[in-house]
Amino acid sequence: MIHISDKRDCCGCGACVQRCPRQCIALREDREGFLYPCVNPEECVGCGLCEAVCPLAGPAEKELPKEALAVKNRDAGERMSSSSGGVFVALARKVLARKGVVFGAAFDGKWEVRHTHAETLGDVRPMMGSKYVQSRMGNCYREAERFLEEGREVLFSGCPCQIAGLHKFLRRDYPNLLSVDVLCHGVASPKVWRRYLDEAFRSSGAVITGIDFRNKSMCGWKDFSLVVRGKYDTETGGDRVLLSDRHYENPFLRGFLSDICLRPSCYACRCKNGASRSDLTLGDYWGVQTLMPDFDDDKGVGLVLVNTGKGKAAWGGLDMEVRPAALEAAARFNGGFKEEVRPYPERGRFFRMAGAGESVEAAVGECLSVSLCRRIEWKARSIAAYIVGKSRWDKRLWRMDNDIQGEG
Site for ligand FAD, rule CB under 6 A: 82-89, 104-105, 113, 127-133, 135, 157-159, 182-185, 187, 282-284, 302, 334-336
Q: Which is nearer to ligand FAD, 83 or 308 (CB)?
A: 83
Check binding of 214 to ligand SF4 (CB under 6 A): no
Residue 284, contacted partner among ligand SF4, ligand FAD, none, CB below 5-8 A by kind: ligand FAD
Burial class (CB in 10 A: 0-12, 13-18, 19+), 63: middle
User: Is 102 within 8 Å of 116 (Cβ atoms)?
Assistant: no
Closest CA to 211 of 284, 138, 126: 126
Check binding of 46 to ligand SF4 (CB under 6 A): yes
Residue at 79: amino acid letter? R
Alpha-helical runs (H) found in 140-283: 140-149, 160-170, 190-200, 251-257
Q: How far apart are CA 351 and CA 195, in angstroms?
A: 12
For ligand SF4, which residue of 33, 65, 104, 186 counts as binding (CB under 6 A)? 186
For ligand SF4, which residue of 33, 85, 160, 302 counts as binding (CB under 6 A)? 160
Within positions 220 to 259, which residues make up the interface with ligand SF4, using CB under 6 A? none
Burial class (CB in 10 A: 0-12, 13-18, 19+), 285: buried
Residue 161, contacted partner among ligand FAD, ligand SF4, none, CB below 5-8 A by kind: ligand SF4
DSSP string for 277-326 = --SEEEEE-TTHHHHSGGG--SS--EEEEE-SHHHHHHHTT--EEEEE--
Check binding of 113 to ligand SF4 (CB under 6 A): no
Q: How far apart are CA 262 and CA 52, in angstroms?
A: 26
Q: How far apart are CA 215 and CA 81, in angstroms?
A: 8
Check binding of 282 to ligand SF4 (CB under 6 A): no
For ligand SF4, which residue of 10, 60, 206, 208 counts as binding (CB under 6 A)? 10
Q: Which helix (H) or strand (E) holds 350?
A: helix 347-355
Considering the complex, what minimum distance in angstroms separates the CB of residue 406 from ligand FAD? Answer: 22
Residue 11, contacted partner among ligand FAD, ligand SF4, none, CB below 5-8 A by kind: ligand SF4
Check binding of 56 to ligand SF4 (CB under 6 A): yes
Stretch that binds ligand SF4, among 1-9, 59-67, 247-255, 306-314 (CB under 6 A): 1-9
Considering the complex, what minimum distance in angstroms separates the CB of residue 161 from ligand SF4? Answer: 3
Q: Which is nearer to ligand FAD, 176 or 334 (CB)?
A: 334
CB within 8 Å of 157: residues ≥ 6 apart: 88, 102, 103, 104, 105, 127, 163, 179, 180, 181, 182, 282
Within positions 17 to 36, which residues make up the interface with ligand SF4, using CB under 6 A? 20, 22, 24-25
Stretch that binds ligand SF4, among 46-54, 105-113, 171-179, 346-354 (CB under 6 A): 46-54
Residue 133, contacted partner among ligand SF4, ligand FAD, none, CB below 5-8 A by kind: ligand FAD
Residue at 2: amino acid letter? I
Q: Which is nearer to ligand FAD, 49 or 118 (CB)?
A: 118
CB within 8 Å of 260: residues ≥ 6 apart: 343, 344, 346, 347, 350, 364, 367, 368
Check binding of 105 to ligand SF4 (CB under 6 A): no
Considering the complex, what minimum distance in angstroms separates the CB of residue 249 from ligand SF4? Answer: 24
Q: How far apart are CA 362 and CA 290, in angstroms?
A: 36
Q: Which is nearer to ligand FAD, 49 or 267 (CB)?
A: 267
Q: How far apart are CA 105 and CA 355, in angstroms?
A: 27
Check binding of 39 to ligand SF4 (CB under 6 A): yes
Considering the complex, what minimum distance in angstroms separates the CB of residue 160 from ligand FAD? Answer: 9
Residue 206, contacted partner among ligand SF4, ligand FAD, none, CB below 5-8 A by kind: none
Q: How far apart are CA 134 and CA 132, in angstroms?
A: 7
Residues of the shown chain interacting with ligand SF4 in the complex, contacts defined by CB under 6 A: 1-2, 4, 10-16, 20, 22, 24-25, 37, 39, 44-50, 53-56, 159-161, 165, 184, 186-187, 263, 265-266, 269, 271-272
